Amino acid sequence: AQKITQTQPGMFVQEKEAVTLDCTYDTSDPSYGLFWYKQPSSGEMIFLIYQGSYDQQNATEGRYSLNFQKARKSANLVISASQLGDSAMYFCAMREGESGAGSYQLTFGKGTKLSVIP
């Protein structure tokens, strides 16, 4: 079974509108972390936002917020007020295990290509 599922291969959003990118995950580890990265055409991985499994509140970073629904195992990314520069691939990723307690790799979803329309 896939550990990270992103069901939207591509999404379009009008400039200045909000958009939600879906991510569901599967783990039996009580300690885990969820990440969202942006990958523009240059290939660099840009960290956007992080949510820990024990965090009580949804994470927010500027225009990015993470809608964390633990019981449903979903961690959707919400981008508010979309900008043309937001056009890129977006990857959801998971680290199983506690941070700092060892070196755990990230497992990535297949990604969603977001296109912002002027």
- Which two three-digit tokens encode residue 55? 């965090």
Residue 43, interface with another protein (CB under 8 A)? yes
Q: State the Cα–Cα distance between residues 71 and 57, nearest whole angstrom.
A: 14
Query: Considering the rule CB under 8 A, would residue 56 count as an interface residue with another protein?
Result: no
**Cα 27 to Cα 25: distance, rounded to the nearest angstrom:** 7
Radius of gyration of the chain (CA): 14
Q: Is residue 64 within the footprint of another protein (CB under 8 A)? A: no
Is residue 47 close enough to count as binding another protein by CB under 8 A?
A: yes
Binding window for another protein (CB under 8 A); candidates: 11-19, 67-75, 77-85, 109-117: 109-117
The rounded distance, in Å, linking the Cα atoms of 6 and 91 is 8
Which residues here bind another protein, judged by CB under 8 A? 33, 35, 42-45, 47, 50, 52, 91, 95, 99-100, 103-111
